[in-house]
Amino acid sequence: MLTNESDSPFDNSTSSTVSNASSGNQTALGGGPHWTTTSYSTLIVQISALLTNASLVFLFAWNRSLVTAFTIYVLNLCVANILSSAFFTTLHLIDYLYAPIELPGVNWWLGDSWCTMYQYSEWLLSGSMVNAHALIALNRFWAVTFPNSYRLKQTKLAAAGICIAQWFYMHLCILPGILLDVYIYRLPVFTDIAQCHSGTDAPFEWQAAIQLLIFDFPLVIIVGVLPVVYYKASRRRKPLVTPSTGILPTGLSGGPAAGSVSAANPVNAPTRIKSSGILAMTLMTATVLVCYVPDNLYNTLWVFNLDLGSQFYQIVTVLYELTPVFDPIWFILTLPRLRHAFLETYCSPCK
């Protein structure tokens, strides 16, 4: 989640969340666009995120055999990335291009309704990204910790239901604060500078609860689950080592067979599949730690009225915008079937 570092979330004075500028000021603010290094980088990253995620979504739509219980969670993450890039990043970029100074929200000229959309996309769509990561982490945790339960209960329908429930849960938590801001706490004041604070002027208790529940707690899940998954996977991998001679377990091969090179493949196949899923989760977690955690740390401190300064804000903004670019790349590189289908779909026509 990105915020305007120049404003306190608790200021309900004349610099309110949205101030409707006078008509003369509206004309002045409409000049531009003012291209800077930040706006160029934002545009490049936005296009890259849309291309990488949309290509993966199209791949799932084109090749339905790729849609499994696990890849539904990947698809959910791609959809969250696309929505965030299409709505929040677009408004963020427009604000950079047409505001006289390079601080988003300080000179807001798009009006009250678009400010509400800006807040909605920032809180909900940014939150949906980190929660989609958390669902993938919990899915891997379930798979390696309770494999029998996972095989019996984790169907495509169940995965889709969990993802839909996540979006309902996010709306249930976030919409009340935005509605309170729009109808009660937001004070439209006619001043020389129109302002839009993404933090909203809703009560501090709501902002703190949402920041901790929607943004911070999922990060704890993502980081905390990974070592547990590694530990459980390493313990389950040991019994799958095929002896030089012997009988295969009936649950893996479908029946007994003499130990040989060809007979060993069915035993090692589940290990390779699990390893690729764990590798994808590892890269995803690394991206979250490097790109998402600094931004989330900044915003958590900001909610509690601790400002780290504009230089830190610029750095974490760039890192945050890279997160949706890397997500689909890691899954394509680490999941063999997905990688093969991607190369066959997008690279074969060029040969």
pLDDT score at 165 = 97
CA dihedral 90, 46, 162, 230 (to 10 degrees): -150
Best mean pLDDT range from 294-298, 301-305, 345-349 = 294-298
d(CA 253, CA 236): 17
Whether the upstream peptide bond of residue 33 has omega within 30° of 0, thus cis, is: yes
Q: Is the pLDDT of residue 35 over 90?
A: no
Structure tokens at 177: 């604060």
Instruction: Let me know if 6 is exposed, middle or buried by CB neighbors in 10 A (0-12, 13-18, 19+).
Output: middle
**Structural domains of the chain sorted by starting position, each given as residue range(s) with its CATH number in brackets:** 23-346 (1.20.1070.10)
Best mean pLDDT range from 26-35, 74-83, 241-250, 328-337 = 74-83
The predicted-structure confidence for 92-125, as pLDDT tens digits, reads as follows 888 778 765 545 555 667 777 888 888 888 889 9
Q: What is the average pLDDT value for the chain, to the nearest integer?
A: 77
Nearest residue to 107 via CA among 123, 119, 96: 96
3-state helix, strand, coil in the chain (%, to 5): 75, 0, 25
Residue predicted with more confidence, 112 or 7? 112
Say which amino acid occupies 17: T
The answer, as to whether pTM is greater than 0.85, is no
Q: Characterize 315-338 residue by residue with b for buried, 16 or more Cβ atoms within 10 angstroms of its Cβ, and e for exposed.
A: ebbbbbbbbbbbbbebbbebbeeb
